[in-house]
Amino acid sequence: MRRFLIRRLLSAIVIVWAVATIVFFSMRIIPADPAEVVLGEHASAESLAAFRRQAGLDQPLLAQYWDFISRAVVGDLGQSLVNNAEIAPQIWFVLPYTVVLAFASLGVGILIGIPIGVLAAVRRNSWIDLASRCFALLGFSFPAFYLGVALLLLFSIWLGWFPVMHSIRFGTWAEHLYKLVLPALSLGLIQAAYITRLTRSTMLEELRKDYVRTALAKGLTMRRVLFNHGLRNALVPIVTAIGLYAGSSLGGAILTETVFNRPGLGKLLVGAIAQRDYNLIQAGLIVFALVIVAVNLAIDLSYGFLDPRVKHD
Amino acid sequence: MVVSRLRPILEDKGAMAGLGVILLFCLMALLAPWIAPHDPTTQNVRDAFQGPGARYWFGTDEFGRDVFSRVIHGARPALMIGVFSVVLSVVLGMPLGMLAGFVGGRFDTAVSAVVDVMMSFPSLLLALMVVTLLGSAPSMVVLAIGISHVPVFVRLARSSTLVVRELDFVAASRSFGARTGHILRRHVMPNVIGPTIVMATLGIAGAIREEAGLSFLGLGIQPPAPSWGNLIRDGVNAILHAPTLALLPGLVLTASVLAFNIVGDSVRDMLDPHDIAAAAAKRDRAR
Amino acid sequence: MSGLAPASASSPPPLLSVRNLSIAVEGAGGQTVVDRVSFDLGEGGVLGIVGESGCGKSVTAMSVLRLNNPALRLRGGEILLAGEDLLRASEARIRAVRGGEVGMIFQEPMTSLNPVLAVGDQIVEAILAHRPIGARAAREAAIELLGLVGIPLPARRVASYPHQLSGGMRQRVMIAMALSCRPRLLIADEPTTALDVTIQAQIIDLLRRLQRELGMAVMIITHDLGLIADFAADVVVMYAGKVVERGATRDLFRQPLHPYTERLLASIPPLDRDVDRLTTIPGTVPSARTMPSGCRFSTRCPLAEARCRETEPPLRTMPGGRAVACHLVAEGRAA
């Protein structure tokens, strides 16, 4: 177990390092000159040179790379090209918003997807099965950001239950929660579609297995057979898939944060791209990678608890 | 082989409806200048923010442009980028996956490692990065979305190849010393192509959605050119003045994605993703 | 002990009485997989049900606890447990019977246990479903049961997962689970088919010992008549969904009456001498489409005559509780 942990941790570090390296060099081979982008086409040669010196862009590439990596290791992600502000604090500020949104939407997805999926599998070809399949198909097709727009229209514009444009200040816990509802719902419903379809097909497969018959032969109630035996076994593939969707769910968060004007890593990144703040883009991408790798690590470790047959060695 | 198995699709009502919708969108894209009632970019500020009505079916935006005409013209970038980016992904991904699965060894390990890492990243993020680096010209958007979907096709082709590789007739022709390229074209490709068609159909749905997402963020098709993502973005910006402005273009977008998903699903049922697994099971029983 | 012929009204009802059980595949033209099967099993008796795969013996066994695939539909008959019709009992009642009064073990110990739960927990679950005791007491009982079925170090094995046990050990766990509530009847559906030959004998020996110690009735389903020769007191031979012969095992071995039984016996490898080849029954069980209108065995029977192919022989009861369904036996020409 410990050896497995160390190996997975090492590979996670290597992946983040590789992403950081790729991102760093891609940002420097692009045709655009950051100094020109920031100062404008009409900036003088002197001011351009001064900007480059200040941002360290006049150094040899490898020196810049070493400087970047050695700082990043201790959590220093450099300064914004646009306003010179330290990047790390900005990221620390927005990261919790994205993490909370991701977890909340995952929660919505699980709470809706697993019960419907189980029910659809048990009552195969009933109306609820048909409804679950329509729901899944719609969920696959609705772009999460458009669903966000539709929810905004319905609940904010027409019903007036939620404010249309959020202020960046969030305030109390209740306020946080209040402003989380629509974004989490718009991302979570999409995830629920994936989880529904997956739970249904996995449960159908599990319910055909011999141990289900054994459990029934013991005189257990159907509910116990379904949840303690069927679902318990189905969880392994379900959790795997949730891990795979975790990435795309974070991708959806980029759009959702923009729709709801909600602070977060995605919105920060999109803003940075619009302003061509290459340092901020670079940092944003690396932190995204870090979050995704961490999620995958957590999923890998969870197998040990879900499936005793998995040996971590 | 593949074509004959596609025949039952003609009897699947859902799939036929999906195909019909796709055909409608294709016609819309082809004939946009002739069927759109107005010019998609002509501004007519006096008619700004008109609600849906007889003259402007989907209403007008803040510049008085006809949203319905813009939606019709928006089918062009959606379909073009959707199809071309998936073609790019298949062209890059399928041979790589087949080769990795067939050759095996370190090459396979390396390809699989890169694919695994890329798969764990949201494809939108990969596309964002490419667009950031290379700009938002339509060809670059195709490249961005195409590259972000390559891992899916690599993995698919690789896993199908792994199964086919062990089948008796392939093993036999290998033992006769047939060249790798020949075996891949002759034996492996026919078995990889079915699942790839399914994934490509579903991939077009994903690519259309992704193009809309990029455009929505202002990083895809650049205004004033109409694209469904732009229209939704404009609609959200004006959500207080004209609440329905984003609604109808979004429905059109969803309908097109839905159509490709339905067709992809039923092609999947036709081709039965299990048939390769079934072939493997048959092989095991024969032993 | 276990009268094979359906009991008369005056004597107490047998523990298990299957009467005219008919089961068919769902749908109008569905194939009949069990056709008017009847037999009795007395309290504490041991009954073997024998036949080739597909003869309906497993479907019959599963019907007792209503565990058949839902695509198989009951067409008629009753299954009485101490006089109570299980086929028409409520869901709650059948749940109480399952694992309570009737325990069941299956063919595949590899897949019949839940792979993600410790074996102890699976036994505890069975106990808690029927007995009003606490979790700790149930765990003690589980350990005791594991010891009872001959698993070494039961206190440690209770925490093992199925994949950590051998096939024989898993079948012992299944037996422990089935016995956890001291059932009056144990149904063993091909309990040794998936196991090594040496393990097979051990499991049968274990079942015999437990049956004597606990005084329960056992219904054992197998395709291997030799395996149960000195375990089951009575045997029911099934062919293509029908009972073709039934009687005391001793009589059956001494003088098989039905040609099919005779061939089943001939296919048992003798233990005392080497043989060059075993007799096998040529051909296969006919499918629904090729099912003959007369005797179902007529397509493979070396003695079959014209009428065998035309009219179906009824199951005739003979002196001593023996019964056989063969035209030729009635005239004393077969066997």
pLDDT tens-digit readout, B73-107: 888 999 999 999 999 999 999 999 999 988 888 99
Same domain, A94 and A80: no
**E-state strands within B69-171:** none
For residue C252, how far is the Cα from the chain centroid?
Answer: 17
Mean pLDDT of the C247-269 span: 87
**DSSP readout, chain A?**
-HHHHHHHHHHHHHHHHHHHHHHHHHHHHSSS-HHHHHH-TT--HHHHHHHHHHHTTTS-HHHHHHHHHHHHHTT---B-TTT--BHHHHHHHHHHHHHHHHHHHHHHHHHHHHHHHHHHHHTTTSHHHHHHHHHHHHHHHS-HHHHHHHHIIIIIIIS--S-SS--S---SHHHHHHHHHHHHHHHHHHHHHHHHHHHHHHHHHHHTSHHHHHHHHTT--HHHIIIIIIIHHHHHHHHHHHHHHHHHHHHHHHHHHHHTT--SHHHHHHHHHHHT-HHHHHHHHHHHHHHHHHHHHHHHHHHHHH-TT----
Structural tokens at position C333: 């020409």
B 119-138 near A (Cβ less than 8 A): 119-125, 128-129, 131-134
pLDDT at B41: 77
CB contact under 8 A, C130 and A219: yes
Instruction: Measure the CA–CA gap between A138 and A134, rounded to whole angstroms.
Output: 6
Q: What is the amino acid identity at position C150? A: G
Q: Is residue A312 part of a domain?
A: no
C-alpha distances (whole Å) from C180 to each of B228, C156, C175 are 65, 18, 8
Mean pLDDT of the C44-72 span: 90
Chain A partners within 8 Å of B205 (Cβ): 140-141
List residues in chain A touching B: CB distance below 8 A: 15, 18-19, 23, 26-27, 30, 137-138, 140-143, 145-146, 149-150, 152-153, 157-158, 164, 244, 247-252, 254-255, 258-259, 269-270, 273-274, 281, 285, 288-289, 292-293, 296
Q: Give the model's confidence band at B128: pLDDT under 50 very low, under 70 low, under 90 confident, else very high.
A: confident
Instruction: Measure the CA–CA gap between C135 and C121, rounded to whole angstroms.
Output: 10
Q: Is residue A298 part of a domain?
A: yes
Among A15, A157, A258, whose Cβ lies nearest the Cβ of B217?
Answer: A258
Q: What counts of helices (H) and strands (E) characterise chain B?
A: 13, 0
Q: Which of A263-277, B228-242, C44-58 has the lowest mean pLDDT?
A: B228-242
pLDDT at A125: 83
Evaluate whether chains C and A are touching (3 or more beta carbon pairs less than 8 Å apart): yes
**Residue A186 C-alpha, separation from nearest chain B C-alpha, in angstroms:** 14
Instruction: Measure the CA–CA gap between B64 and B44, rounded to whole angstroms.
Output: 5
pLDDT at B275: 45
Q: Is residue B118 part of a domain?
A: yes
Among C108, C129, C174, whose Cβ lies nearest the Cβ of A219?
Answer: C129
Nearest CA to B22 among B210, B264, B193?
Answer: B264
CB contact under 8 A, A288 and B125: yes
Instruction: Measure the CA–CA gap between A18 and B274, rounded to whole angstroms.
Output: 36
Q: Is the peptide bond before B224 cis (omega within 30 degrees of 0)?
A: yes
pLDDT tens-digit readout, B6-40: 555 566 778 888 889 999 999 988 887 888 777 77
The label of the residue with tokens 């036949």 reads C51
Instruction: Measure the CA–CA gap between C2 and C247, rounded to whole angstroms.
Output: 10
Q: Is residue B201 part of a domain?
A: yes
Same domain, A28 and A93: no
Same domain, A78 and A95: no
pLDDT at B6: 54
CB B90 within 8 A of CB B145: no
pLDDT at C2: 47
Q: Is residue A81 part of a domain?
A: yes
pLDDT at C331: 67
As to burial, measured by CB atoms within 10 angstroms (0-12 exposed, 13-18 middle, 19+ buried), residue C110 is middle
Same domain, A71 and A103: no
Q: Is the pLDDT of residue A207 over 80?
A: yes
Chain A residue closest in CA terms to B256: A141
User: What's the CATH number where B244 sits?
Assistant: 1.10.3720.10
Strand order in the sheet with C242-248: C102-105, C185-189, C217-222, C46-50, C234-239, C242-248, C323-324, C316-317
Alpha helices, H only, C45-102: 57-64, 91-97
- SS3 breakdown of chain B: % helix, strand, coil, rounded to 5? 75, 0, 20
Higher pLDDT, A155 or C28: A155
Instruction: Measure the CA–CA gap between A263 and A257, rounded to whole angstroms.
Output: 7
Mean pLDDT of the C83-99 span: 93
| Alpha-carbon Rg for chain C in angstroms | 20
Same domain, A64 and A164: no
Instruction: Measure the CA–CA gap between B234 and C33, rounded to whole angstroms.
Output: 67
Same domain, A75 and A112: no
pLDDT at B281: 42
Same domain, A114 and A73: no
pLDDT tens-digit readout, A209-251: 999 999 999 999 989 999 989 999 998 888 888 877 777 788 8
CB contact under 8 A, A214 and C113: yes
CB contact under 8 A, C95 and A307: no
Q: Who contacts C3 (Cβ-Cβ below 8 Å, separation ≥6)?
A: C11, C14, C40, C42, C321
Relative to beta strand C185-189, strand C32-41 is unpaired
Q: Give the model's confidence band at A161: pLDDT under 50 very low, under 70 low, under 90 confident, else very high.
A: confident
What total of structural domains would you count in chain A?
Answer: 2
Long-range contacts of C301-304 (CB under 8 A, 24+ apart): C301/C259, C301/C260, C302/C259, C303/C259, C303/C328, C303/C333, C303/C334
A60–C contact, CB cutoff 8 A: no
| Alpha-carbon Rg for chain A in angstroms | 24
Structural tokens at position A224: 């116990």
C-alpha distances (whole Å) from B48 to each of B40, B55, B69, B235 are 14, 13, 15, 13
- Residue C276 exposure: Cα atoms within 13 Å on the Cβ side: 0
Instruction: Measure the CA–CA gap between A19 and A26, rounded to whole angstroms.
Output: 10
Higher pLDDT, A62 or A57: A62
Mean pLDDT of the A186-200 span: 92
Q: Is residue A136 part of a domain?
A: yes
Same domain, A71 and A160: no
**Each residue of C122-161: b (16+ CB within 10 Å) or e?**
bbbbbbbbbeeeeeeebbbbbbebbbbbbbeebeebbebb
Q: Which of A101-110, A301-310, C87-96, C232-241 has the lowest mean pLDDT?
A: A301-310
Cβ neighbours, 10 Å, residue C298: 22
Q: Is residue B55 part of a domain?
A: no
Interface contacts (A, B; CB < 8 Å): 116
A306–C contact, CB cutoff 8 A: yes
Q: Is the pLDDT of residue B264 over 70?
A: yes
pLDDT at B248: 86
CB A200 within 8 A of CB A166: no
Among A146, A157, A158, whose Cβ lies nearest the Cβ of B232?
Answer: A146
Chain C residue closest in CA terms to A231: C116
Q: Who contacts A56 (Cβ-Cβ below 8 Å, separation ≥6)?
A: A64, A67
Chain C partners within 8 Å of A307 (Cβ): 115-116
Same domain, A18 and A141: no
**Residue A145 C-alpha, separation from nearest chain C C-alpha, in angstroms:** 39
Among A218, A233, A309, whose Cβ lies nearest the Cβ of C98?
Answer: A218
CB contact under 8 A, A228 and C99: no
Nearest CA to C259 among C317, C219, C308, C190?
Answer: C308
Same domain, A80 and A210: no
Instruction: Measure the CA–CA gap between C98 and C183, rounded to whole angstroms.
Output: 9
Chain A partners within 8 Å of C108 (Cβ): 210
Relative to beta strand C234-239, strand C242-248 is antiparallel
Give helix B247-271 / helix B189-216 axis angle, nearest 10°. 170
Q: Which domain holds residue A274?
A: 88-306
CB A250 within 8 A of CB B122: yes
Q: Give the model's confidence band at B284: pLDDT under 50 very low, under 70 low, under 90 confident, else very high.
A: very low
Q: Is residue A311 part of a domain?
A: no
Among C111, C115, C129, whose Cβ lies nearest the Cβ of A309?
Answer: C115
Among C104, C106, C116, whose Cβ lies nearest the Cβ of A232?
Answer: C116
Instruction: Measure the CA–CA gap between B246 and A149, rounded to whole angstroms.
Output: 7
CB contact under 8 A, B239 and A164: yes
- SS3 breakdown of chain C: % helix, strand, coil, rounded to 5? 35, 20, 45
Among A53, A87, A121, where does a domain finish?
A87
Instruction: Measure the CA–CA gap between C231 and A293, rounded to whole angstroms.
Output: 60
What total of structural domains would you count in chain B?
Answer: 1
User: What's the CATH number where A178 sits?
Assistant: 1.10.3720.10
Cβ neighbours, 10 Å, residue C319: 5
Instruction: Measure the CA–CA gap between B126 and A304, rounded to whole angstroms.
Output: 31
State the Cα angle at B164 between B162 and B170, rounded to 5°. 120
Among C104, C112, C126, whose Cβ lies nearest the Cβ of A211?
Answer: C112
Q: Which of A45-49, A267-271, C188-192, C297-301 has the lowest mean pLDDT?
A: A45-49
Instruction: Measure the CA–CA gap between C98 and C92, rounded to whole angstroms.
Output: 10
Q: Which domain holds residue B82?
A: 9-31+63-286
Reported residue count of chain A is 313
Strand order in the sheet with C16-25: C32-41, C16-25, C72-81, C84-85
Same domain, A126 and A218: yes
Same domain, A94 and A223: yes
E strand or H helix at C321: none
pLDDT at B176: 73
- Residue of A146, A158, A286, A297 best to disrupt the B interface, most CBs of B under 10 A: A146
Q: Is residue B1 part of a domain?
A: no
pLDDT at B66: 81
CB contact under 8 A, B123 and A248: yes
Beta bridge partners of C247: C235
Instruction: Measure the CA–CA gap between B273 and B196, rounded to whole angstroms.
Output: 10
Chain B residue closest in CA terms to A260: B236
